[in-house]
Copies of this chain bind each other. A is one copy, B any other.
Amino acid sequence: MSTLSAVEENYLKYIFQLSEIFENGIVKTNDLAYKLDHSAASVTDMLKKLSEKKLVAYKKYYGVSLTRNGLTIAVQVLRKHRLWETFLVKNLKFTWDKIHEIAEQLEHIQSDELIDRMDQYLGFPKFDPHGDPIPDKAGNISLPNVVCLADAKLKKQYQLANVNDDSAAFLKYLNKIQLKLNDKVKILDKEEFDETIQLLINDKKQLTISNDAAHNMWVRSVKEI
């Protein structure tokens, strides 16, 4: 159980996040290389190393997935990342576009007691400032019932539940158009040509957003009154 390096922890975390995107849960070398902005050769090296440590199941030319041990660690890193982000916004009054980079560093601080005390200090939050679920100490993650705004139904009442947290530019854009978590959103119309979306925000403000932007937002459906 010797502690992992920050680099190894990052690999596990990104394997986990990418594995959730693909149905079979198998992550390809190039996907990781793109995500990490490393060469494919570097990724292959690290996958062999993690495989020897039994943290991933790696098959040459096929792909990689997490073992039970690897998954446990990946989820704990995610827990730390999201608890720190919550602290930065709730207590230190950072805006949500400034926290991801700092949390990328803080998530690798090694101390179980630290993160448990932080969890308690924050009141055991379930979601981080971007609406991402925070795994609990045991590693349980509540699966929010959300749909990507790009795939949501027309004329149906939703609420903004979750935004992609790793693009500061996107979050700044949301700040600018004054769209926040839990705002009510309804798709009034979708342009066929470029899939531009007409939104109604909180029953009053109208807004046009790109399909690209919509791919970075997830919404939960809301009972109509």
Contact = CB atoms under 8 A, between A and B. Distances in A.
A114 interface: yes
Contacts of A93: 117
A contacts with B: majority SS: helix
A92 B118 contact: yes
A109 B101 CA distance: 10
A80 to B, nearest CB: 12
Interface in A71-113: 88, 91-94, 98, 101-102, 105-106, 109-111, 113
A84 to B, nearest CB: 10
Contacts of A102: 109, 111, 114
B117 A92 contact: yes
A119 to B, nearest CB: 10
A92 B106 contact: no
Contacts of A62: none
Nearest to A106: B109
A94 B106 contact: no
A121 interface: yes
Contact of A113 (B94, B117, B121): B94
Interface in A95-144: 98, 101-102, 105-106, 109-111, 113-114, 117-118, 121
A105 B105 CA distance: 10
A93 B106 CA distance: 19
Interface in A23-82: none
A167 to B, nearest CB: 18
A72 to B, nearest CB: 21
Contacts of A94: 113, 117
A95 to B, nearest CB: 11
Nearest to A121: B92
19 contacts: A88-B114, A91-B121, A92-B114, A92-B117, A92-B118, A92-B121, A93-B117, A94-B113, A94-B117, A98-B113, A101-B111, A102-B109, A102-B111, A102-B114, A105-B109, A105-B110, A105-B111, A106-B106, A106-B109
